[in-house]
Amino acid sequence: MALPLPLSLSPSKVSSFTDCGLAFRFSAIDRLPEPPSVAATRGTLVHAALERLFCLEPHERTHERSLVCLEDAAAELRAHPEFSGLELDAEAEAAFLEEARSLLERYFRLEDPTTITPIGIELKLEVEVGGVRLRGIIDRLELDADGELIVTDYKTGRAPGERQEQQRLAGVAFYSLLCERLFGRRPAKVQLLYLADPLAIISTPTDRSTRGVERKLAAIWMAVERACEREDFRPNPSRLCDWCGFKAYCPSFGGDIALADAYRIDRELERQDAAEPALA
């Protein structure tokens, strides 16, 4: 029996498929829950603080106000399983918040938020290209002084090495394609702001890069279809396994793929039960 196709592709799914086909399957097809991680939750918090900052009037976007935004975002996040699941003690929570404050402080070394003209924050975009549904969340869409579109993506991990940089820039081209198809305009610039370093990686989308990402997405979708048809998603052990939350299911770590099948089938049966009309 073939595996069901994922509903869409996003930059993170493309990156996951490229890194390890089996991890992609567990996440995008079996939809296994992943345990929260300190790094990912800290990223969520800093993104939420910057979202709040850019909802303020330009002259209010100061470093001091960003810390208030962070405290407000942290108060909201504390009730969420992504944070409570970390089970941080008081000392670990203080260190977690201090690192988030430090990332915000370094953000201010990259740009002056009082000069930015955002037209969309945490923008959810979705479009069909060549029969493939593409989805992405743009952290910030803005207009420059000439009225051109700029896409900004915040990164709270370290800037990538040369090989990973190409992969990250493929994600950038993905966002550019989404904008072009939805707004009929190609962004003049797409920038990745690596807060930890701090470092900005800036790319100018072109006809060539747009055609390249379309070809790449079509090839990845074909590979996903083939792998689903054959139920053949292979593990690709690497240093990334250190951060993978699916080891219990991964044969490379003595795990059992059948557990992932069972989880997916159970969820599917639950959905079918919920969809059936109640008998009178």
Contact residues: ligand SF4, CB under 6 A = 20, 22-23, 235-237, 240-241, 244, 246-247, 250, 252-253
Secondary structure (3-state) at 143: strand
117 Cβ contact partners less than 8 Å away, ≥ 6 residues apart: 142, 143, 144
246 has which bridge partners? none
Query: Nearest approach, Cβ of 107 to ligand SF4 (angstroms)?
Result: 30
The token pair at 165 is 């940089």
Closer CB to ligand SF4, 84 or 238, in the complex: 238
> Among residues 83 and 246, whose Cβ is nearest to ligand SF4?
246
**Least Å from the CB of residue 87 to ligand SF4:** 23
The minimum distance between CB 32 and ligand SF4, in angstroms, equals 10
C-alpha span between 198 and 33 (Å, rounded): 31
Residue 100 or 257: the one with the smaller Cβ distance to ligand SF4 is 257
CA angle at residue 189 from 217 to 145, to 5 degrees?
A: 150
Q: Which is nearer to ligand SF4, 147 or 254 (CB)?
A: 254
Shortest separation between residue 249's beta carbon and ligand SF4, angstroms: 7
What is the closest distance, in whole angstroms, from the C-beta atom of residue 217 to ligand SF4 in the complex? Answer: 22
**Contacts of range 220-227, beta carbons closer than 8 Å, 24 or more positions apart:** 220/9, 220/14, 220/17, 220/18, 221/9, 221/130, 221/131, 221/132, 223/17, 224/5, 224/6, 224/9, 224/17, 224/24, 225/5, 227/3, 227/21, 227/25
**Tokens at 33, concatenated:** 């829950």
For residue 50, the minimal CB distance to ligand SF4 (Å) is: 29
Residue 193 or 244 having the CB closest to ligand SF4: 244
Between strands 199-203 and 189-194, the pairing is antiparallel
Closer to ligand SF4 by CB, 107 or 246: give it: 246
Phi/psi zone of residue 127: left (φ > 0), alpha (ψ -120 to 50 degrees), beta? beta
